[in-house]
Amino acid sequence: MQKIKLIHEVRAVKSKKELANIVKAQRISERVLWDVLNILETGVTEIKVANFIKKSFVKYGAPVLSFPPIVAFGKNTANIHHEPGKSKLKLGDNIMFDFGCTVNHYCSDMTRSYFWGELSKKQKQVYADVLRAMELALVKIGKGEKRAKVIDASARSFLNKKYGKKNFLHGLGHGVGTVIHEWPNFKPKSEDMLPVGCVMTIEPGIYLKDKGGIRIEDMILVTKDGYVNLTNVPKDLEGAILSAKK
């Protein structure tokens, strides 16, 4: 007897046209990110950068955002869903950007973390570990793994051993489509199986209270034998260290 697919299962598998919209939205987001990096300067506020992001999306013809942009400096980066405020960028700060836009109702989603001018040994280590956690998850998917909880565990167990269970409290990722959080989900107890053709985020993070957080997020297309990364922004440590402009 053939299993009847539920609506969320049907929606998860993207047609070529749907995928093209998601990719277009992501490419616009990448252009906005590069523009943002060019206007950063010591003393700029989170809210000013967030407003610049919104205006940039309008400029590029994508005024409808996937969600309100997250812009966080310093200790604020330890807040998973930080709302931009009056905090000013200063030397040595962690920086976190998480934003996306929509094209024909289809969303994009991306997070990048940076360091303003300099970083400590601890900041360097956390960044390297979050990046490694992402790589571990991608290796699993690349080998054809489709069980969401197994993929989540590959990244989570690595980070939990180093930082404890309390510093990575959200899921490893989620489906993306006409809404920003769509089935399936990467969570420790998830029973979801990734269908071929779904678009997922991979977004491990470590959040250290009073110190700051690091999150790195890519969007991928799940294929029969692995995945295709839909995100074209570098995430190497060297590229994450920005030259501080006064």
Is the pLDDT at 230 greater than 70? The verdict is yes
Give yes or no for residue 1 having a pLDDT over 60. no
| Average pLDDT of span 232-236 | 97
Q: Report the predicted TM-score, pTM, of the whole model to 2 decimal places.
A: 0.95
For residue 29, give every residue at least 6 positions away whose Cβ sits within 8 Å of its Cβ, in sequence order, or none. 99, 100, 101, 108, 110
Sheet holding 241-242, edge to edge: 70-73, 94-99, 110-116, 241-242
The residue extents of the domains of the chain are 14-242
**Chain segment 171-206, per-residue pLDDT in tens:** 999 999 999 999 999 999 999 999 999 999 999 999
- Rg of the chain taking only CA atoms, in angstroms: 18
pLDDT at 2: 55
Statement: 14-242 belongs to CATH 3.90.230.10 = yes
**3-class secondary-structure state, position 111:** strand
Q: Tell me: the pLDDT tens digits for 4-41?
A: 668 888 899 999 999 999 999 999 999 999 999 999 99
Decide if pLDDT at 3 tops 80: no
